[in-house]
Amino acid sequence: MSSTQHETQAAPAANPAAEGGFEPKIIAFCCNWCSYAGADLAGVSRLQMPTNFLVLRAMCSARVDPEHVLRAFAKGADGVLVLGCHPADCHYIGGNYRTRRRIALLKMLLEQYGLDPDRLHLEWVSASEGVKFQSTIKEFTEKIREMGPNPLKEAEKEEKAEKAKMAH
């Protein structure tokens, strides 16, 4: 991924000052067989995209436990992408079907927790789809930028303030 990271650093962030200085932090889980290779292709093809994301490689998108996604949000991620092989294309035959069910249910759960369910996004990116990887990152980063920071960060700050107030 080093080439991708290096190249993408060249892309200027879209006017951060106008957005109140908010730069989204995005975690992108990529499956080893399709999406990670797709991300690599985007990199070696020198496709330009925002640098707000960190890639985490999992052997399969179904390895991305709901706990991993929840933890990413709890640790301050503003958006989480889960990228896997297209339906009928999974290296493990049916892993991506499980992913898709879990992500659907997880979105329902996030909404109940008060988070915008669109902060979590599932996309199929094959090893040959470097361009799709690029467009997914671009669109998702823009969407999260529009949405604003993860409200869990704010809630944590408020909680700390209340604790400090009570200590007096």
Binding residues vs other proteins (CB under 8 A) = 19-20, 22, 65-67, 70-71, 73-74, 87-88, 94, 97-98, 100-102, 104-106, 108-109, 112-116, 122, 146-149, 151-152, 154-155, 159, 162, 166
Alpha carbons 26 and 14: distance in angstroms, whole number: 16
CB closer to other proteins, 47 vs 103: 103
CB closer to other proteins, 27 vs 47: 27
Residue type, 132: K
Alpha carbons 88 and 93: distance in angstroms, whole number: 7
Reading the block at residue 159, the tokens are 């909680």
CB of 139 to other proteins, least distance (A): 16
CB closer to other proteins, 41 vs 140: 140
- Cα of 143 vs its chain's centroid, Å: 11
Instruction: Identify any residues that bridge with 11 across adjacent strands, giving them in sequence order.
Output: none
CB closer to other proteins, 10 vs 168: 168
Helix orientation angle between 35-44 and 130-147, rounded to the nearest 10 degrees: 100
Residue whose tokens read 């700390």: 160
Q: Count, in order, helices (H) and strands (E) of the chain.
A: 6, 4
CB of 36 to other proteins, least distance (A): 22
CB of 151 to other proteins, least distance (A): 4
CB of 48 to other proteins, least distance (A): 25
